[in-house]
Amino acid sequence: MAIFICSNCSHTEETPDEFLGKKARCLKCQTLSTITEKETKTPKALPKTPASNKMNPSPPRDEFSNDERKSINVTHRSREIKSWHVVTLFVLLGAILTAQLVQLEGQKEWEYAIRSPKDSALEEDLNSWGESGWELVFARRATNYAGTAEYEMIFRRRK
């Protein structure tokens, strides 16, 4: 059996032997590559054991040294810690967003007042309304029907 291995993205596909040596486009990235012969791996011969061990075979040899095993365990633990951190982060973000939404819901209820103070008492009136919880939203200097100028102000505060 022949095999197609993309030189760009390493995507592999098995192909019939009749396409061996021909060029084909990768199904994933459309790069042109040559179809080659599939390498067959021969299984490694197992070491012969003495006849006396056939009744009580020894356990298979461990493929990793102690240092490699420690490295694998540390890597596995660090992944667990990282995933725990991610979960905790999402829980905290959810709590913060929920608190913000609750706070915004409470801010939707306002009461408004329109005031037109006299110029002579402007500063005193502004201080008084501010102490009562009123917030100035809009102000303009306008001329009234009598032809005199005065301030028109819109205030708001939470109910």
At 41-54, the pLDDT tens digits run 555 555 555 555 55
Share of the chain above pLDDT 90, in %: 15
Decide: pTM greater than 0.85. no
Residue 96 lies in a domain: no
pLDDT at position 14: 86
Residue 150 lies in a domain: yes
Residue 29 lies in a domain: yes
Residue 57 lies in a domain: no
Residues paired with 112 in a beta bridge:
156
CA dihedral for 43, 47, 50, 55, sign (positive or negative): negative
Residue 9 lies in a domain: yes
Question: Which H or E element spans position 39?
Answer: none
Residue 66 lies in a domain: no
Residue 62 lies in a domain: no
Task: Considering only residues 67 and 38, tell me which one the structure prediction assigns the higher pLDDT.
Answer: 38
| Structural domain for 29, as ranges | 2-37
pLDDT at position 88: 82
Residue 76 lies in a domain: no
Q: Which of 10, 43, 42 is nearest to 27 (CA)?
A: 10
Look at the chain and report how many structural domains it folds into. 2
Q: How far is CA 49 from CA 42, 45, 59, 126, in A?
A: 21, 12, 12, 100
pLDDT at position 98: 87
CA distance 72 to 67: 9
pLDDT at position 105: 67
